[in-house]
Amino acid sequence: MELDELKNELNKKFAADKNKSAADIAALLKKQTVSVVRKLQRSLWFDLLANILVLFLFIWQGLYNASWALRVYFSSFIVLSVAALIVLIYLIRKINALNNTILPVKQNLESIYTIVREYKTRCFQLTMLLIPFCIAFIFVLAYVENKSGHQFDDLIDKLNDRAWILYTAIVVYVSMITIGIYYFTKWWLKKLYGKYLDQLKLLIAELEENSY
């Protein structure tokens, strides 16, 4: 039994489902898609809205926080949030353009794969980059603030002959935060996009395969 012998019959069988009316088709157009691209679009829109909320919070803290150091800290993150907003808008536009263009199967898979992978990689890199930046920045600001206001002098005096306790606490705290964020970010991004990326990669590899 060969595929060619059953070609026409199979073709008929595959089309056996009952036809839909024009009204059924019109009703379908009111619904939402559930594709990988749609999932990514929803993720990006969620990030965009979260970013806008955080931006307002930063502006508010940057203007009204009682501490000078925290005002500077939050104000600097306004710049970062605006930059992130621009990147997110760019990605949403790119995804929309891809979603409305019908490419050959392989090119379509490669485009989705590249965008999702890029997004996942950049999210991870940005998060990792922000950890040392935030920690270093907060220490510098605390040092500068203490120079002018001497808020931490009491604590430093108390620990004067046991400074190692302070240093150890700082090192343990920074290490735990760094390791925690590293593994959490990795796990979260893998949970969100890892499976899709693996499936897309397999499909692309299968299309590229050219042997018996």
- Write out the residues near other proteins by the rule CB under 8 A: 1-4, 6-11, 13-17, 19-22, 25-26, 28-29, 31-37, 99-109, 112, 195-196, 199-200, 203, 206-208, 210-212
Please calculate the CA angle 111-117-118 and round it to the nearest 5 degrees: 90
CB of 210 to other proteins, least distance (A): 5
Which residue's CB is nearer to other proteins, number 29 or number 165? 29
Task: Report the interhelical angle of 105-149 vs 195-208 (nearest 10°).
Answer: 140
CB of 117 to other proteins, least distance (A): 15
Distance CA 77, CA 93 (A): 24
Which residue's CB is nearer to other proteins, number 69 or number 112? 112
Which residue's CB is nearer to other proteins, number 4 or number 161? 4
Q: Which two tokens stand for residue 211?
A: 């042997």
**Type of residue found at 120:** K
Which residue's CB is nearer to other proteins, number 20 or number 122? 20
CB 142 within 8 A of CB 69: yes
Classify 150 in phi/psi space as left (phi over 0), alpha (psi -120 to 50) or beta.
left
CB of 184 to other proteins, least distance (A): 22
User: Is residue 149 within a helix (H) or strand (E), and if so which, with residue range?
Assistant: helix 105-149
CB of 114 to other proteins, least distance (A): 14
CB 81 within 8 A of CB 51: yes
CB of 42 to other proteins, least distance (A): 14
Q: Which two tokens stand for residue 108?
A: 């379509």
Which residue's CB is nearer to other proteins, number 26 or number 169? 26
CB of 94 to other proteins, least distance (A): 15
Which residue's CB is nearer to other proteins, number 39 or number 186? 39
Q: Which residues contact 123 (CB under 8 A, 6 or more apart)?
A: 185, 189
